């Protein structure tokens, strides 16, 4: 099969002309149950540099929920004992990097307004997709990872120098990330 280029100057089109029609076809989407989704998860890739973080974060969140169910609290920041308790709750479905496990345990009680607003915006967008039937909502798990926002080792805010007593909430006015911050 050969192709040849025709002289386009001989063809006249007006702005309103087109050669086809757009046809919207309904799409039927099946969603697995929550239990099936947890057993065989699919992930939205949030950060292209972290291909395997979806499985690791899925495993860590499942372990955190099991930890909270068993102990009635989240892991204490900078507490090595709670890191080990969280490790015991891992199901073994993914290999978890040691530094990710520690950071996840250390930050499990944190709640940043900026991250919560991003999650709220995404959740409301997905709800609008479901309500309006305008676009197809996500059917995968989506984990946001902001680990790069933590201070790097060797900086003036070196997190390795923090202790459990440094991370105790002080109820000061500089600790505003909560329900009364606005």
Q: What values do phi and psi take at 137, rounded to 5? A: -75, 165
* Tens-place pLDDT, residues 102-136: 999 999 988 777 888 999 999 999 999 989 988 88
Comparing C-alpha atoms, which of 67, 70, 121 is closest to residue 89?
Answer: 67
Per-residue CA distances from 173 to 80, 178, 181 (Å): 28, 11, 9
Residue 69 pLDDT? 97
Q: Which of 1-5, 38-42, 93-97 has the lowest average pLDDT?
A: 1-5
Give the bridge partners for 142, in sequence order. 44
Tell me the C-alpha distance between 179 and 17, whole Å.
56
Q: What is the pLDDT of residues 16-60, one digit of tens each?
A: 655 666 677 777 888 889 899 999 999 998 888 888 889 999 999
Position 166 scores a pLDDT of: 83
| CA-closest candidate to residue 46, choices 152, 150, 147 | 147
Overall pTM > 0.85: no
pLDDT tens digits, residue range 73-92? Answer: 999 999 999 999 999 999 99
């Amino acid at each position: 099969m050969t192709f040849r280029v025709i002289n386009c100057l001989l063809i006249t089109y007006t702005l309103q002309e087109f050669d086809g029609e757009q046809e919207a076809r309904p799409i039927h989407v099946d969603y697995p149950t929550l239990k099936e989704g947890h057993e065989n998860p699919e992930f939205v890739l949030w950060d292209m540099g972290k291909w395997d973080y979806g499985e690791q974060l899925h495993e860590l969140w499942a372990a955190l929920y099991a930890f909270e169910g068993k102990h009635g609290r989240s892991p204490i920041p900078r507490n090595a004992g709670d890191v080990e308790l969280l490790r015991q709750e891992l199901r073994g479905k993914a290999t978890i990097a040691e530094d990710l496990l520690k950071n996840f345990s250390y930050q499990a009680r944190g709640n940043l307004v900026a991250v919560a607003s991003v999650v709220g915006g995404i959740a409301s967008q997905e709800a609008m997709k479901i309500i309006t039937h305008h676009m197809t909502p996500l059917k995968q798990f989506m984990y946001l990872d902001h680990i790069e926002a933590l201070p790097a080792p060797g900086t003036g805010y070196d997190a390795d120098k923090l202790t459990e007593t440094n991370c105790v909430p002080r109820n000061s006015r500089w600790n505003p990330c909560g329900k009364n911050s606005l």
